[in-house]
Chain A
């Protein structure tokens, strides 16, 4: 198990290889479909100057993401007397953000993308070019994951996107995952996929 504490350096990323298990600590945000669309269409590629509120969020996210992480998850939260906490928050399917993630990695200097199911060639290329990794979280293990999301610090776009889709700024403590796409160009998903194909071909040939 390798410990990763945000902010993470390029050197630390290069030490990681597909298959390594990691525990991630530090401040990061959740962000899924609506968040990625907003990051790219509005903040990164939208007409400048940005409206004041967007600029504020852009500046906040730049601070969080430089050397940091985004977590593909739509959590369930509780609000006790104005204080938010995470109830259940496993990873959601990452491939839906494939058309955005390379741009997000490049623009913000993200080091870690956490999700499930793996991502495609565009994200893999961005991981290599910008020294980042994709970490596969424990799909379905919402409560175990919530235990590693120890404090909710802030939230952006809650009203517009709704609770599951908002950016929740969270302090993580030893969040568990497995590196499945590294900065050396290796994707466990690609490699395993080839093996699955071969075994399927054998089963279909049998008859």
Chain B
């Protein structure tokens, strides 16, 4: 491991990036005469039991405990609604539900959604192995009642009964320079997923052109159409640009940002702030039954588009934004970082 150059089996390090192993040897990869030498190393550098325990803990905790930023936002929303109002009563129920779920360690919502793992890892770790570990953690969490049976074959109608199926759970990878692995899990419920929308600008009906004003118009329309169906107060993940597929995924990436962060792009930061403020004047309120808080957050990202296309893609997250993150050090320890 780092600094020691030895491998201690008793430590059961959860993973060991190939790059490090390579660096210690000499002349492993040779490029000869300008030809690319593409090598395949099939060695499995993941200690699955330790990694799997960490991932299982992540699944359990994501299903049962809301992250701090979401809890704080819900408390703020509760305090802002008028005493004795329906909106305040509903938010009080939400807060009570949050406390009960954490105390009893049971799922916050019966719809434990589509599990989506976003993994950042150092070079050299096997995606196939990490995907399998995520699947195994999901199967175990389902058996232990932290997840509902949620993976249904759309052709046969058969529920797999263990939350594993084609493309289920979602596992997404990104390589980075850090020596640790970070895993963010989001449980995306079906009710809110159903009210997501993708607009192709220009949009005649909404008088939305291919500019940020057009973006504002269609996003407010999406909030109106979602009304109570996405379990507001919601959080919007938005992607401007991209293609139809990449844009939906990028809009989900936006939902991984803390609610209280500020967009590093000042133009998008201003747009986020404006849409949040304006959406909260619509009066949709908690569960769509009226109130001051319709959205808890608006997060916008952008991807390059082709000249012919201008998509605005909105993913709606319900009030119960189940999103947690862990960091697994190469030496084996892991901790929750969100």
- A residues with a Cβ closer than 8 A to B are 19, 21, 73-78, 87-90, 92-93, 95, 116-118, 136, 138-144, 146-147, 162-164, 176, 178, 180, 188-189, 192-193, 195-197, 199-200, 203-204, 207
Would A141 and B97 count as touching, CB distance under 8 A?
yes
Chain B residue contacts of A140, Cβ below 8 A: 94, 97, 108-109, 189, 231, 318-320
Chain B residue contacts of A197, Cβ below 8 A: 224
Chain B residue contacts of A78, Cβ below 8 A: 145
Q: Which B residues, 298 to 319, have Cβ-Cβ distances below 8 Å to chain A?
A: 318-319
Chain A residue contacts of B191, Cβ below 8 A: 92-93, 116-117, 139
Is chain A's binding surface mostly helix, strand, loop or mixed?
mixed
Q: Which B residues, 209 to 268, have Cβ-Cβ distances below 8 Å to chain A?
A: 213, 216-217, 220-221, 224, 227-229, 231
| Distance of A175 from chain B, by nearest CB (Å) | 12
Q: In the bound complex, how far is the Cα of B148 from the Cα of A137, in angstroms?
A: 20
B281 is an interface residue with CB less than 8 A from chain A:
yes
For this complex, 28 residue pairs linking A to B, each with C-beta atoms less than 8 Å apart, are A74-B148, A76-B112, A76-B145, A88-B101, A88-B106, A93-B191, A93-B194, A95-B229, A116-B229, A116-B231, A136-B289, A139-B228, A139-B318, A140-B320, A142-B107, A142-B109, A142-B110, A143-B104, A143-B106, A143-B107, A163-B149, A164-B110, A164-B149, A192-B227, A192-B288, A199-B281, A204-B206, A207-B217
Would A88 and B282 count as touching, CB distance under 8 A?
no
| Distance of B50 from chain A, by nearest CB (Å) | 28
Chain A residue contacts of B86, Cβ below 8 A: 19, 21, 178
Beyond A116-B231, A147-B100, A192-B289, 19 additional contacts (C-beta under 8 Å) are A74-B111, A76-B148, A77-B145, A87-B106, A88-B106, A88-B109, A92-B191, A93-B229, A138-B90, A138-B93, A139-B191, A139-B228, A141-B96, A143-B100, A143-B104, A164-B150, A178-B289, A199-B283, A203-B220
Query: B96's contact among A21, A144, A163, A164, by CB below 8 Å, is which?
Result: A144
Chain B residue contacts of A142, Cβ below 8 A: 97, 101, 106-111
Q: In the bound complex, how far is the Cα of B74 from the Cα of A141, in angstroms?
A: 13
Q: In the bound complex, how far is the Cα of B191 from the Cα of A188, in angstroms?
A: 20
Would A196 and B284 count as touching, CB distance under 8 A?
yes
Nearest A-chain residue to B161, judged by Cβ: A162
The A/B interface has a contact count, at CB < 8 Å, of 148
B269 is an interface residue with CB less than 8 A from chain A:
no
B79 is an interface residue with CB less than 8 A from chain A:
no
- B residues with a Cβ closer than 8 A to A are 86, 89-90, 93-94, 96-97, 100-101, 104, 106-112, 145, 148-150, 159, 161, 189, 191, 194, 206-207, 213, 216-217, 220-221, 224, 227-229, 231, 278, 281-284, 287-290, 318-320
Q: In the bound complex, how far is the Cα of B216 from the Cα of A93, in angstroms?
A: 27
Chain B residue contacts of A92, Cβ below 8 A: 111, 191
Q: In the bound complex, how far is the Cα of B228 from the Cα of A93, in angstroms?
A: 10
Query: B101's contact among A116, A139, A143, by CB below 8 Å, is which?
Result: A143
Q: In the bound complex, how far is the Cα of B213 from the Cα of A204, in angstroms?
A: 10
Supposing A136-B289, A138-B97, A140-B97 touch, asked if A117 and B145 sit within 8 A by C-beta, the answer is no
Would A180 and B289 count as touching, CB distance under 8 A?
yes
Q: In the bound complex, how far is the Cα of B149 from the Cα of A179, in angstroms?
A: 30
Would B109 and A90 count as touching, CB distance under 8 A?
yes
Would B289 and A143 count as touching, CB distance under 8 A?
no
Q: In the bound complex, how far is the Cα of B229 from the Cα of A189, in angstroms?
A: 11
Supposing A74-B148, A193-B227, A204-B217 touch, asked if A143 and B281 sit within 8 A by C-beta, the answer is no
| Distance of A139 from chain B, by nearest CB (Å) | 4
Chain A residue contacts of B111, Cβ below 8 A: 74, 90, 92, 142
Chain B residue contacts of A116, Cβ below 8 A: 191, 228-229, 231, 287
Q: In the bound complex, how far is the Cα of B105 from the Cα of A194, in angstroms?
A: 41
Chain A residue contacts of B320, Cβ below 8 A: 140
| Distance of B65 from chain A, by nearest CB (Å) | 12
Q: In the bound complex, how far is the Cα of B104 from the Cα of A82, in angstroms?
A: 21
Q: In the bound complex, how far is the Cα of B281 from the Cα of A204, in angstroms?
A: 12
Chain A residue contacts of B287, Cβ below 8 A: 116, 136, 138-139
Chain A residue contacts of B94, Cβ below 8 A: 138, 140-141
Would A196 and B100 count as touching, CB distance under 8 A?
no
User: 3 nearest interchain CB pairs?
Assistant: A141-B97, A143-B100, A144-B97
Would A162 and B159 count as touching, CB distance under 8 A?
yes
Chain B residue contacts of A143, Cβ below 8 A: 97, 100-101, 104, 106-108
Q: In the bound complex, how far is the Cα of B194 from the Cα of A95, in angstroms?
A: 12
Q: In the bound complex, how far is the Cα of B150 from the Cα of A89, in angstroms?
A: 14
Chain B residue contacts of A141, Cβ below 8 A: 93-94, 96-97, 109
